Amino acid sequence: MKSIKLTKLSVAACLLFLMVMLAGCGGKEYKAVAINEDTAKCAACNMQVKDDAYATQLVTKNGKVHLFDDIGCMHKWEATNPSEEIGASFVRDYNDNEWIKYEDAYYAYDASYRSPMAYGIYSFKDKASADAFVKSQDKGVVMTSAELASHTWQQNTDMMGGMDMSGHDESAHSEMDGDMSMNDASSDAHSN
């Protein structure tokens, strides 16, 4: 009687152990890595990846980390490397540079927002701060990661002397790399 109980217990223990192991395998935890500006290079466009809010990264299933200087470069890389299995991708909160999962972030976009490769997309950790940013800019839309999937990914590569977009390029210059407390004559729309 006692021995049967013991066997049962050990079987249960084995099963539990197996379950824990399997669960551990399935839920592989991906983490964002820190950026070393001396060596970090965008996997798509070759530019230096600065340790700023525009930086993004993805980790493939076999553990390789690719860094990008602009979320648009990450999108481009995914499109040109369809065979790579992506474990997780990370973006940063625009305000405090905290790494967040791509799926959990909210995105603000406007053609006039400036970013290293001119994709004009900023990421935020919650909807409120994304909304607040768009409101402060007086232009732009807020998207979820699902909505971002159907985004055009158009780069704003040509202001054409402001002829074609006189509406919003006035404050286009208010966005310079990184943090901003600008004195640009036209930065009235801008606050941060």
Among 153, 159, 168, 191, binds other proteins (CB under 8 A): 159
Q: 10 Å Cβ neighbour count for 23?
A: 9
CB 58 within 8 A of CB 90: yes
Reading the block at residue 163, the tokens are 């002829």
Q: How far is the CB of 157 from other proteins (least distance, A)?
A: 4
What lies within 8 Å, CB to CB, of 50 at 6+ separation is 35, 37, 40, 69, 116, 177, 178
What lies within 8 Å, CB to CB, of 184 at 6+ separation is 173, 174, 190
Q: 10 Å Cβ neighbour count for 73?
A: 25
Residue among 51 and 96 whose Cβ is closer to other proteins: 51
Residue among 151 and 173 whose Cβ is closer to other proteins: 173
Radius of gyration of the chain (CA): 22
Among 176, 188, 189, 191, binds other proteins (CB under 8 A): 176
Residue 139 as a binder of other proteins (CB under 8 A): the answer is no
Stretch that binds other proteins, among 19-27, 35-43, 85-93, 121-129 (CB under 8 A): 35-43
Stretch that binds other proteins, among 22-30, 128-136, 140-148, 165-173 (CB under 8 A): 165-173
CB 139 within 8 A of CB 172: no
By CB under 8 A, what part of segment 91-120 binds other proteins?
A: 117-118
Among 3, 38, 146, 167, binds other proteins (CB under 8 A): 38
Residue 188 as a binder of other proteins (CB under 8 A): the answer is no
Torsion angles phi and psi, residue 108, rounded to 5: -110, 135
Q: Residue numbers of the site for other proteins (CB under 8 A)?
A: 37-39, 41, 45-48, 50-52, 117-118, 155-159, 161-162, 169, 172-173, 176-186
